[in-house]
Amino acid sequence: MTTAMPVEAPNGFSALSLSPTVLAALNRARYYEPTPIQAAFIPEALQGRDVIGQAQTGTGKTAAFLLPFLDSWRDNNEPGPQALILAPTRELVVQVAEEAAKLAPSKHCRTVAIYGGQRFGTQLAALKMGCSLAVGTPGRLLDHLSRGTLHLDRLRYVVLDEADRMLDIGFRPDIEKILRRCPQRRQTMLLSATLPPPVLRLAQRYMREPLNINLSPERLTVDTIRQYFITVDPEKKLDLLLRLMDREKPKQCIIFCERKRWADELYRDLRHERHRVAAMHGDLQQSERNKIMKRFRDGEIVYLVATDVVARGIDVTGISHIINYDLPEDPESYVHRIGRTGRMGADGVAFAFVTPEQGKQLTAIESFINMQVKEARIEGFEAFTRKIVQPEAPKTIVPIFGSRRQRRYSRRL
C-alpha cells in the first residue's frame, strides 16, 4: 500500500488533527493519505471515546488504532505500558509491534511483543527495560500478569484486535481476566471484521458507549430494510420530501444528494421548512464534519442532507429512514447508502426518488441488488408538473416551471 510521493507533498493525515511529531513519523513511514478506516476512526479516537472498527486486515486498521495512542504518548519513563494490544496470533502480534515501531514518534516509545512460543525470559528482559506499548496474545499476557512480570497500573489505552477471531479461538476467559485487571479509566478500542453477538456482548461489558465504524464490505441488501421508489419530476422533489416526512415522521434520516452544491441547495430550502436540519459534504472542514456527526449521533439533528461522504462507515442507531433524493449513479453507492439504516437488526426504510428519465438507473440498481424495489405513492400528491404538449410520436416533454426554487431544480434535468 505504500506509495512513492515527494517528501514535501502535503500529508493527508494533517486534516485529522494529529500532532507534528506523529505527522513526521507518518512521513518517514511514507504514509501520505489516510485509508478510509483511518480517516473515520482516528478523529473519533482522538476525542477520547471508545470505538469499534469493523474492518479487515489490509485496510490499514493497525495504524488506525495505533495513531491515536501514539499521538497522546508522553515520554514519562514509566516502566509499565501505557497501551495494551491484544491480538489472536503470534503473526499478528509481530505485525502490530512492527507497525508500532515504524510509526513511533520517538525511539523512547518502545513496544514489546509478548506471545507463546518465544522464551519467557526474553520477554521478561524486554519488559524490565520498560515499554510504552505491550502487544500480545491473551494467553501469554495473562501468564506475565499472573507472575507479576507485567503491570497494568499505567495503562490508559486498550485494543482488542481481531476480536471475532480471538473469541473463535477460545480466548474469551483470558481476555475477560485481562480486562478486569485493567484500570477503569481507560480508552478501549475493538477491531473486528464482523460483530456477532459474542463480540457485541464483550463490547457492551467492557467498553463505554462505543461508537461503531463499519468499513466491512456490505451485504448486498439488508433484509431488515424496506425499500421503495417514488417517481417524481425533479422540480417536485422538495414537495414530495416534505409530504413524505409528514407521513413517515422519521426518528432520524439521511437525505442523499449526488453533488455537494445540490446538498447545499436542498439544505437551504429544507432549513426554512423544518428544524434540526444539517448538511454534510466533503467541502466542509474535518472539524466541522466531526461536530455535525456528533450532533447527529446525539440525536440533535433529525434531517442530515448529505453526499456520499457519509455513505460508508457511519453507524448511528437512530437512523430510521434513508432518502435517495438523487438516485446514485453507481448501484454500489445505493447499497452503501441504504445500509446506514437497519443497523444491528433494527427496522429501516429507504425511499428512492426516481425521475421519469431515470428508469434505467433504477433497473441497474435492481439487477445489482437482485430484487425489485416496490413503488410507493403518497395519497393526493401530484408528482408531475410537466405536461405532454404533443402526444403524437415523437413525444416532447415540456417542463413547466413555476417558482425560483423549481427553476433551480430544473437545472438538473
DSSP characters for 361-372? HHHHHHHHHTSP
Cα torsion angle, 166, 167, 168, 173, sign: positive
> What would you report as the CA-atom Rg of the chain, rounded to the nearest whole angstrom?
25
Task: Note whether 1 binds ligand AMP by CB under 6 A.
Answer: yes
Residue of 46, 52, 63, 131 that binds ligand AMP (CB under 6 A)? 63
What angle, rounded to 10 degrees, do the helices at 359-369 and 331-338 form? 70
Task: Note whether 43 binds ligand AMP by CB under 6 A.
Answer: no
Task: Note whether 60 binds ligand AMP by CB under 6 A.
Answer: yes
Binding string, 163-192, against ligand AMP, x = CB under 6 A?
------------------------------
Smallest Cα–Cα separation from 338: which of 222, 233, 242? 222
Residue of 11, 16, 25, 34 that binds ligand AMP (CB under 6 A)? 34
Determine the interface stretch with ligand AMP among 26-34, 107-115, 264-272, 405-413 (rule: CB under 6 A).
26-34
Q: Tell the smallest beta-carbon distance from residue 215 to ligand AMP (Å).
A: 11
What is the DSSP code (8-state) at residue 401? -
Write down the residue that cell numbers 434535468 correspond to.
413
- 38 or 123, CB closer to ligand AMP? 38
Task: Note whether 227 binds ligand AMP by CB under 6 A.
Answer: no
How far is it, in rounded angstroms, from Cα 344 to Cα 321? 15
- 87 or 338, CB closer to ligand AMP? 87
Q: Tell the smallest beta-carbon distance from residue 137 to ligand AMP (Å).
A: 17
Residue of 59, 137, 212, 358 that binds ligand AMP (CB under 6 A)? 59
Smallest Cα–Cα separation from 165: which of 198, 214, 140? 198
Q: Report the amino acid identity of residue 22.
A: V
Task: Note whether 53 binds ligand AMP by CB under 6 A.
Answer: no
Q: Are the C-beta atoms of residues 70 and 103 closer than 8 Å to each other? A: yes
Task: Note whether 35 binds ligand AMP by CB under 6 A.
Answer: yes
- 35 or 231, CB closer to ligand AMP? 35
Residue of 17, 27, 57, 317 that binds ligand AMP (CB under 6 A)? 57
Q: Tell the smallest beta-carbon distance from residue 44 to ligand AMP (Å).
A: 17
How far is it, in rounded angstroms, from Cα 234 to Cα 243? 15
Smallest Cα–Cα separation from 200: which of 35, 37, 393, 52? 52
CA angle 330, 336, 337 (to 5 degrees): 90
Q: Which residues contact residue 234 at a Cβ distance below 8 angstroms, ignoring those fewer than 6 apart?
A: 355, 409, 410, 412, 413
Using CB under 6 A as the binding criterion, the count of chain residues that bind ligand AMP stands at 15
Name residues contacting ligand AMP, limited to 78-117 (CB under 6 A): 99
Contacting residues toward ligand AMP, per CB under 6 A: 1-2, 31, 33-35, 38, 57-63, 99
